[in-house]
Structures are given as structure tokens and as C-alpha cells.
């Protein structure tokens, strides 16, 4: 349809609807229709611009939401098959045993103290004690070691006193005779001269002699006369250990 025919058809429709319109109304309608294409351009551009802006906003929101939902980076951990590193703990020292190691049975022995012996060593203490595996006799000297100490094994517990020569029988089955040269048992000692212990090994300790610088001690022992003897200082002393049966 041509533009002229379109205008004619439009006039006819207006005439049918409104009757006989005034010339002024017809001119205003025609002017509006003629100007419509000119005003339609800016509105169309605004709509297109609004659509583009909306698309950009939606795109930004979608991208931002995607970035916010991105999973956190995985930090590599220790391999399940790897063994944990442990710091070795210090190994504690073994608890020392209260039982001393077994000692060989000594034969007759002679002991001498270090340094120059005194002319007469004063015995100040006779002390006995029982320990796991052995019984002990300790003879303490107040002013230094005597000249020599002899220890002799006996097959019985019979001893002869000196200088009287009396016969003594101590408890036990075997004995030790301890002879201390250059000593006395009366200047610094005031304890018992006959000690019955009741121990399993060392049964009895008794003075046999204390005369003219010689002291003899008789030891009655249950079982074999198995012993070890040594000297210690601080204070100076003789130690005799008798193995228990």
C-alpha cells in the first residue's frame, strides 16, 4: 500500500468513528502521525541502551557469583604412606640391682693399707649388716690403717683365746680368723665383743685376742666360708663380705 492510499484509508476510519470532525482535529491527527517516526528513534535507542546495561549487570553478577563459588585451593598434605617423624626419647638408665654380682671365694689373704701404717691402729667400731646375697662385717680404724691384716679360713668354728688359751665355739659350721697386727680394741672401742647376728651367712663375731698390739676376731659362718675382703678410706676401714648360702 502506498503512503497516499494509507492516508486516505486512515481518514476514512476517523470519519466513520468520529463523524464529521472539525478541520482542526483532522490537522492535529495528521501532524501527530507525520511526526511519530521522528519521535520513535530516541525511545528505541533508549530501550536498546537499557537492554544492554541490563545484560552487562546480569553478566557481572553471574561472573561474581561464579568466582565466589570457586573451591578453595587444595594444599598438599603429608602422603598417607609416609611415616610420621618422631623424636627418639632418651633411653633411661637401667635400675641398679640391689644384689651385688657374685664374687669368687677367696683363700687365705693378707691385706695392707696405703701409706705408712700407724704403730697402733685404734679400732673404733665393729658393725655388721645383712644384704641380698651377702652379710658384711666392717671394722673401722680411728687413726689410720694397721700394719697388716691376715684372714684365715677354718673348717670349724672353734677358736682359742689369747693369752688365756681358752677354747671357744661360735655359731655356724665354718669360720674365719681375722688377725690384725698393730692394733687394739680397747682404746677407742666400747661396744660388744661378742656379736650374735642371726644372719643367714655371718652368724657370730667374737673377740679372740686383744693383747700387745694384736687383735684377733673369730667369725662363725653358716655354710661354706666364702668371702671377699678389701680396705676403704674415709674413714679407714676393713670390709669383709660373707656370701650367704
Q: Is there a domain that residue 204 lies in?
A: yes
Q: Rounded to the nearest 5°, which phi and psi values hold at 36?
A: -60, -45
Q: Is there a domain that residue 93 lies in?
A: no
Residues 227 and 158 in one domain: yes
Q: Cell for 92?
A: 633411661
Question: DSSP assignment of 18-71, as one string?
Answer: HSS--HHHHHHHHHHHHHHHHHHHHHHHHHHHHHHHHHHHHHHHHHHHHHHTSP
Q: Is there a domain that residue 121 lies in?
A: yes
Task: Specify the number of domains making up the chain.
Answer: 2
What's the pTM value of the predicted model, to 2 decimals?
Answer: 0.59
pLDDT in tens, the chain (245 residues): 666 666 676 566 555 545 554 555 456 545 554 554 444 455 545 555 556 565 556 555 545 555 555 544 444 444 444 444 443 333 333 333 344 445 778 689 999 987 788 999 999 999 999 999 999 999 999 999 999 999 999 999 999 999 999 999 999 999 999 999 999 999 999 999 999 999 999 999 999 999 999 999 999 999 999 999 999 999 999 999 999 98
Residues 222 and 171 in one domain: yes
Supply the range of the domain harboring residue 43. 3-68
Q: Is there a domain that residue 171 lies in?
A: yes
Q: Is there a domain that residue 139 lies in?
A: yes
Residues 63 and 117 in one domain: no
Residues 155 and 46 in one domain: no
For residue 170, the domain's CATH number is: 2.60.40.3500
* Closest-CA residue to 122 (of 143, 149, 139, 138): 143
Amino acid at each position: 500500500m502506498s503512503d497516499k492510499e494509507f492516508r486516505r484509508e486512515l481518514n476514512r476510519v476517523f470519519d466513520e468513528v468520529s463523524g464529521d470532525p472539525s478541520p482542526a482535529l483532522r490537522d492535529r491527527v495528521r501532524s501527530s502521525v507525520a511526526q511519530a517516526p521522528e519521535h520513535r528513534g530516541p525511545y528505541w535507542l533508549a530501550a536498546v541502551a537499557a537492554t544492554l546495561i541490563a545484560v552487562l549487570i546480569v553478566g557481572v553478577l553471574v561472573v561474581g557469583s561464579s568466582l565466589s563459588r570457586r573451591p578453595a585451593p587444595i594444599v598438599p598434605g603429608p602422603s598417607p604412606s609416609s611415616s610420621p617423624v618422631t623424636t627418639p626419647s632418651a633411653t633411661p638408665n637401667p635400675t641398679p640391682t640391689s644384689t651385688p654380682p657374685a664374687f669368687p671365694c677367696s683363700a687365705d689373704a693378707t691385706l695392707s693399707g696405703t701409706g705408712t701404717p700407724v704403730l697402733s691402729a685404734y679400732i673404733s667400731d665393729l658393725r655388721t649388716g645383712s644384704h641380698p646375697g651377702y652379710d658384711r662385717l666392717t671394722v673401722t680404724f680411728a687413726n689410720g690403717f694397721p700394719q697388716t691384716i691376715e684372714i684365715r679360713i677354718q673348717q670349724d668354728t672353734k677358736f682359742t683365746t689369747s693369752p688365756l688359751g681358752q677354747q671357744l665355739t661360735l655359731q655356724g659350721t665354718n669360720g674365719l680368723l681375722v688377725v690384725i697386727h698393730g692394733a687394739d680394741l680397747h682404746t677407742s672401742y666400747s661396744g660388744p665383743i661378742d656379736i650374735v647376728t642371726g644372719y643367714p651367712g655371718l652368724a657370730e663375731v667374737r673377740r679372740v685376742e686383744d693383747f700387745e698390739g694384736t687383735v684377733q676376731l673369730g667369725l662363725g659362718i653358716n655354710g661354706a666360708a666364702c668371702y671377699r675382703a678389701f680396705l676403704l678410706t674415709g674413714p679407714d676401714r676393713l670390709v669383709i663380705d660373707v656370701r650367704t648360702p
